[in-house]
Amino acid sequence: METKLKPIDTSVWRKKPLAAYEADMKKSELKRVLTRWSLTSLGIGAVIGGGVFVLTGIAANEWAGPALALAFVMAGVACAFAALCYAEFASILPVEGSAYAYSYGTVGEIFAWLIGWNLILEYMMGATTVAVSWSGYFEKLLHLVGINPPIWLMNDPVTAQEKAEKLRAAGENVPDFAFAVNLPAFLIVWCVTYVLVKGIKEAASTNNAIVILKVATVIFVIIAGSFYVDVANWTPFIPAPVMDAGGQQHYGFNGIVTAAGIVFFAYIGFDAVSTQAGEAINPKKDVPFAIIASLIICTVLYILVSLVLTGMVRYDALDLKAPVAQAFADQGLTWAVYLITIAAIAGLTSVMLVMMLGQTRIFLGMAKDGLLPKNLFGSIHPTFKTPWKSTILVGAIVSVVAALTPIDKVSELCSSGTLLAFAMICGAVWLLRVREPNLERPYKTPALPVVATLGICANLYLMYNLRTDTKISFLIWCSLGLVVYFLYSRKHSHLNNPDDHQ
């Protein structure tokens, strides 16, 4: 029987009827091939990567010291509240679109749009950051085997000039160059794009193999590194607060909170699990399981790695770009540096894969609702059954930005969008519980009023403690999103003519 939707008003607070989600699921052209453990692996694939191999050095060296472990606990707890709420939503609305789709059915179109817009920022800039980090580890691997490519071929123009000036100041002869491009970052993005266009099954299989490698490497880092821990490096565990020239506090409690906001970027992988609900075999049960399982596994690993890392090397001596590899290099374990560098390259590849995968599914969900052009963002390949046009578009944008732009402070900008989305989801699931108490919920968040309240407060508190320039950039991005919404999306929304889109 065909579902008929009632006409919806033109208010920005209008909501997508829950019956429409059922219709979307029935009409979906995506292949349902992902099992419970494939979904969990996707979550781990997105979470274990940049957080371990890159952000640990920055967060410990500049903000938290040995208390980085507490920052991971703080970020993990904030994520846990959101994850429990995500799990209930995923069991009710097992569709692609993640927090965007959940908010559209409960809070209203304008909030859903803003969350979707911020998820675009989160995934695209996150993938770009990871691509640049991947290039850095790849360059390190080349140096390990005696290959020294020119600076202009491995870095964006700004970074290449900075490196060249430092080398010249040190007395090295560096030839002038008129152009620079981060070629490895550009090429790896297109390799990932190819895998994603080919199909979700191929992408999941590739990710599963990489996840096994990097989880094994992380466990190796924890066990092997523990033999080189000097407990004196943990003193003081929480360094005394220091104010910089801009009035920002480093170390102390505020430094730990700022570090939690930075490493929060590492946790967004469990959000990517919910974007794959449209391709899960049994989404109502398996997506909630995968969300919670991936978060628990990764939080434990992060805490242990941070303790080992700050125990091996004093926090203020940690390398900012490759902290784990450098920590083992300082101990003279060259063979371990090879292993960690290779695992980092593989690990960052899978993070990029899952982020770009999640990005295209957010686009797909928004296009299905008319908020983005469907002929571009909602087009499914007839053979591969993937949103191929948007995948190629994302690949083009990410590859060019990664190749030509110095990306060194975007992790906080990614985190800001994620924190807002998580706070919104905590409120939205509570609102839906009140409005639709009899709705079938295969999974119910325990102690929802407490969990939702703590989730809202924890995520907004971390967002509040991000750096001022991050907040300004975030407000600019949100303002741009509102312009797009009022000029295009509101007018083209399927809720304007619901009966024409059954």
Per-residue pLDDT tens digits for 328-370: 988 888 889 898 888 888 888 878 887 888 788 888 888 988 9
**Other beta carbons within 10 Å of 442:** 16
The answer to whether the beta carbons of residues 323 and 11 sit under 8 Å apart is no
Residue 65 lies in a domain: yes
Whether 336 maps to a domain, the answer reads yes
Domain count, the chain: 1
Tens digit of pLDDT for each residue in 270-321? Answer: 777 776 777 778 877 788 888 888 888 888 998 999 999 999 999 988 887 6
Which amino acid would we find at residue 270?
F
Instruction: Determine, yes or no, domain membership for 8.
Output: no
Residues 115, 419 contacting (CB under 8 angstroms): no
Residue 172: other Cβ atoms inside 10 A? 9
Q: Quick check: is 497 in a domain?
A: no
Q: Annotate 278-335 with DSSP letters as a single string.
A: GGBSSHHHHHHHHHHHHHHHHHHHHHHHHHHHHHHS-GGG--SSSHHHHHHHHTT-HH
Distances (CA, A) of 289 to 37, 83, 99, 270: 9, 10, 17, 11
* Residue 380 belongs to domain spanning: 30-490
Look up residue 445 and give its DSSP letter. -
Query: Consecutive sets of 10 residues in the chain, 502 residues long: mean pLDDT of each?
Result: 53 82 68 78 75 80 91 87 84 72 83 87 83 86 90 88 86 85 95 85 67 85 94 92 82 89 74 72 81 86 92 88 84 89 85 83 87 89 86 93 75 72 86 85 88 92 80 88 94 76 52
Report the SS3 class of residue 384.
coil
> What's the gap between Cα 280 and its chain centre?
20
Asked if the structure places residue 82 within a domain, the reply is: yes
**Residue type at 229?**
V
Domain assignment present for residue 322? The answer is yes
Asked, for residue 17, whether it belongs to a domain, the answer is: no
192: CATH: 1.20.1740.10
Examine residue 495 and state whether it is found in any structural domain, yes or no. Answer: no
